[in-house]
Structure formats: C-alpha cells, structure tokens
Amino acid sequence: MERPVQRAEPLRVADRLSAEALVAGVLGNMAALETVLAEEAGHVRAGRLREGIVAAEPKAALAAAYMQGLEVAKANAVALKRFNPEGVETLRTAHKRFTVVVEANQSVLDSARTVSEGLIKSLAEEIARAQMPAGYGRQAPAPSPYGRGVRSGPLVLSRDL
C-alpha cells in the first residue's frame, strides 16, 4: 500500500496559512509513519517477518520527511507560536503519542532480534555437536569428505534483517 510522503512546505512561515500548512504536513507524515510502524510491529509480533519487512519499506522515506518537517518547524518556532499557537500544542501532543508508538515498535523489533539470535545460536551449537563423532577417547571433529580438514566452518548470518 503506497503512502503519500508530504514534504514539509513552506520552508519559511510568514503567515497563518503557511503555519497551518506546515503543521498539517508534519502531522500527516507522523500519522503515516505511525501506521507503518504499527503494521510492521503487528506482523513481527505474529511471526510474519516477510510481511513485516514489506510493510516497513516506506518507513525510511516517511521518517526522512517527518524529520525534515520537524527541522522546518524548529527553524520557524517563533513564527509558528505567533501564527498558529494551537497547532504547536497539537504537534507537541501528537509527538508525545508518537514517541510511545516508536518505543513500542523498537521493543517488538528488539524482541524479534533476540529470539532470532537465540535460535541461530542454538542451531549452530546443534550443528557443531552433530559433527563430533561419538566414541571413546578424545573428541575430535569428523574429517571432511572433501579431504580438506574439518567438516565445516563457522555458521555465518546476516544481521541486516
């Protein structure tokens, strides 16, 4: 599902209309990013990692637009407070709620990463244990069927997911 990324225009707030447009743009990007984070967390919680990755694809563009909007809002803080004080309060309230959503999303992703790492470690230990022949005397790894020493090297994984 394609989500529109709104650019935080205008770069300079000079009247009430431009102040309202800036606040609306930041709020729109925040709401879209919140939706993406909720979808991603929902899929990861349910163990549907592939769907979670697909749901998170627009996350980078939305996050960049949101951060750009916050920078523009900071640069125009005095004008925003002058022309749209209720919009500034709306932004503050929405940002506090958004912070909770981001923290929840990070918690879900951290839990999934921890579980995945545990599974990979367990798998690597089982593979290493299975390669040790059972017998009398000193335990040694089984020779490689290809004549190159030990049967296999370490298990390698990508942490990019």
How remote is the C-alpha of 79 from its chain's centroid? 33
| Residue 56, SS3 per DSSP | coil
What tens digit of pLDDT does each residue of 106-147 get?
Answer: 999 999 889 888 888 888 888 777 666 666 666 666 565 555
Cα separation, 3 vs 62, whole angstroms: 9
Please report, as a single letter, which amino acid is at residue 42. G
Residues in the chain with pLDDT values less than 50: 1-2, 8
Burial of 145 (0-12, 13-18, 19+ CB in 10 A): exposed
Q: What pLDDT does 93 receive?
A: 96
Closest residue by Cα to residue 97 from 147, 10, 145, 27? 27
Cα separation, 22 vs 14, whole angstroms: 11
Cα separation, 1 vs 5, whole angstroms: 13
| Residue 157, SS3 per DSSP | coil
